[in-house]
Amino acid sequence: MIFVSEEKIKTVLESLREIKGVHGAALIEKFGLVAGEALPGWLDSDAISAMVTLILKASQRATKELEQGAFIRATLENAKGQLIFAEAGGKIVVVVATNEAKLGIINIKLNAAMNHLKDI
């Protein structure tokens, strides 16, 4: 049964990776454990999970203290790309993309992926 869930997670993450300009995606437990990944070899999933977990906690705290409701999603833009992450059923979905990737398409596909992952 665990294998089926892992395979479903991998399929959902691979669908995000198919978006033009997306390097990869990962599903991370709130405490930093990688639950699934579809990342190229040059991206370290453990490093990504550690960083995203820290960023998520800071984002959640800021959202709470500013009375903006529950955290939904964050996008970090930098000189070489984008890091998009969102909560999904108590886990974090993270997408690593280039600057040329279309954020609108990523968001649409990310919403669909999050709905699938919540059901797994």
Position 70 confidence tier, pLDDT thresholds 50, 70, 90: confident
Q: Is residue 1 predicted with pLDDT exceeding 50?
A: no
Domain assignments of the chain as residue spans, ordered by start: 2-119
Average pLDDT for 82-102? 90
Does residue 99 have a pLDDT over 80?
yes
Q: What pLDDT is attached to residue 102? A: 93
Question: What is the C-alpha to C-alpha distance for residues 89 and 9, in angstroms, rounded to an integer?
Answer: 13
Residue 102 and residue 84 in contact, taking contact as beta carbons nearer than 8 Å: no
Quick one: 2-119 is in which CATH superfamily?
A: Dynein light chain 2a, cytoplasmic (3.30.450.30)
* pLDDT band, residue 57 (cuts 50/70/90): confident
pLDDT of 59 above 50: yes
Q: Residue 24 in 3-state DSSP?
A: strand
pLDDT-based confidence at 30, cuts 50/70/90?
confident
